[in-house]
């Protein structure tokens, strides 16, 4: 199964942002126990890329074959190469950067840049993106995904931003091939309190929507 197929089969990418290695491990263990199999570890633009890369590397070793680990908020070539060296399976960005898309594909990784307008979505796909992340999706809702899918039905679209238990099925029904969910699964309060059972339960609630 290709990375693309695994992402589509997984359906929900859990976005893990700003956690240390120990908390990231416990979070991924929790989402896996809840039935989710995709985790995006995001880069911090104010920190050295190797900090995030080390977490990706650790998670890859521990969860190989169980959770597919990707890198998020990839905005520089240095971050991209750090993610590649750490074993990230897919590269996600909040923006549309042709050089990042092309280098991602040269390295043999799945590319998921962020875009919003039809022009941006089409340009990302022309540059080689496998999936285009419509971000932020909550500002326009599922209807916007459906509208984009009209003329751009050949382009796989991911909905990211504001996806919750009430609207997740609406986004899939509108044509999203997958969704990205952050704090609605990885509750900052739950992490701070060490309540990874809550994260597992949230993951299970979302997995039940697939």
Residues with catalytic function? 40, 133
Rounded Cα–Cα distance for residues 63 and 59 (Å): 6
Q: 22 is written with which tokens? A: 């120990």
Rounded Cα–Cα distance for residues 158 and 136 (Å): 10
Provide the angle, in degrees to the nearest 10, between the axes of the packed helices 118-127 and 98-106: 30
Of the candidates 107, 65, 106, the residue with the CA atom closest to the CA atom of residue 84: 107
Q: How far is CA 38 from the centre of its chain?
A: 8
């Amino acid at each position: 199964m290709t990375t693309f197929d695994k992402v589509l089969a997984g359906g929900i990418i859990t976005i893990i942002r700003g956690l240390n290695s120990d908390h990231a491990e416990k979070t991924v263990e929790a989402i896996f126990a809840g039935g989710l199999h995709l985790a995006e570890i995001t880069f911090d633009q104010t920190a050295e890329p190797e900090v995030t890369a080390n977490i990706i590397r650790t998670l890859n070793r521990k969860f190989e074959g169980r959770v597919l680990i990707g890198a998020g908020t990839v905005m520089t070539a240095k971050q991209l190469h750090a993610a590649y060296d750490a074993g990230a399976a897919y590269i996600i960005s909040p923006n549309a950067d042709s050089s990042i898309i092309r280098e991602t594909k040269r390295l043999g990784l799945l590319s998921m840049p962020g875009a919003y307008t039809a022009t941006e979505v089409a340009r990302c796909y022309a540059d080689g993106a496998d999936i285009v992340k419509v971000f932020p999706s909550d500002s326009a809702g599922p209807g916007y995904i459906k509208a984009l899918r009209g003329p751009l039905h050949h382009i796989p679209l991911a909905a990211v931003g504001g996806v919750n238990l009430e609207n997740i099925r609406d986004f899939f029904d509108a044509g999203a091939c997958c969704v990205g969910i952050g704090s609605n699964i990885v509750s900052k309060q739950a992490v701070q309190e060490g309540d990874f059972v809550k994260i597992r339960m949230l993951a299970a609630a979302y997995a039940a929507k697939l």
